Amino acid sequence: MTTIETAELASPIGPLVIAARDGRVCAVEFATRWPRRVRALEKRFGALELRPVPDPAGIARRLGAYFAGDRAALADVGLDAGGTAFQRKVWAALRRIPLGRTVSYRDLARTVGAPAAVRAVGAANGANPLAVVVPCHRVIQADGRLGGYAGGLDAKRWLLAHESALIGRSAA
């Protein structure tokens, strides 16, 4: 049985559930989507023991600092995202998008060396298990519209404003 330490965190974009395994963050999920994330964690790790703790792997403190204005608080978080090799490549590219910048799905596909795989990049973006920490909210449509976001467009708008992003200002 795999032990996952969890905590719920109130945030300006709604309640988040955070989870860590062996000192590394394996999930940051919107509370409304947590049951779905638990199923994904069970698929990945098998039987789980979810153990509530105050601050799994220190991520609650770091997220709190980020939401309070320390935009670099999430820069060096230890991650255990899982995923396929392609998903991990996309998620690593997401982590390299600078604060205050956005990219299109097309640009992200080019960045990961798969320019024809825009839909696959979108799917990997949508499968991101680490909301906010792996900044999938920085990806927008080619025409500058926000597109979807697991936490809803209001949350995406808030995050981009918090990071002083100018919609359509590419990191590429």
103: left (phi over 0), alpha (psi -120 to 50) or beta: beta
CATH class of 85-162: mainly alpha
Which has more confidence, 148 or 115?
Answer: 115
Per-residue pLDDT at 170 exceeds 70 = no
Where exactly does CATH 3.30.160.70 map onto the chain?
Answer: 2-67
| CATH architecture label of 2-67 | 2-Layer Sandwich (3.30)
Distance between CA 124 and CA 147 in Å, rounded?
15
pLDDT tens sequence across 117-134: 999 999 999 999 999 999
Active site residue 26: no
For CATH 1.10.10.10, the residue range(s) in the chain are: 85-162
**Mean pLDDT, residues 146-152 taken together:** 88
Catalytic entry in 38, 41, 133, 136? 136
Q: Dump pLDDT digits (tens) for 40-73.
A: 999 999 999 999 999 999 999 999 999 998 878 9
Q: pLDDT band for 165, please (50, 70, 90 cuts).
A: low
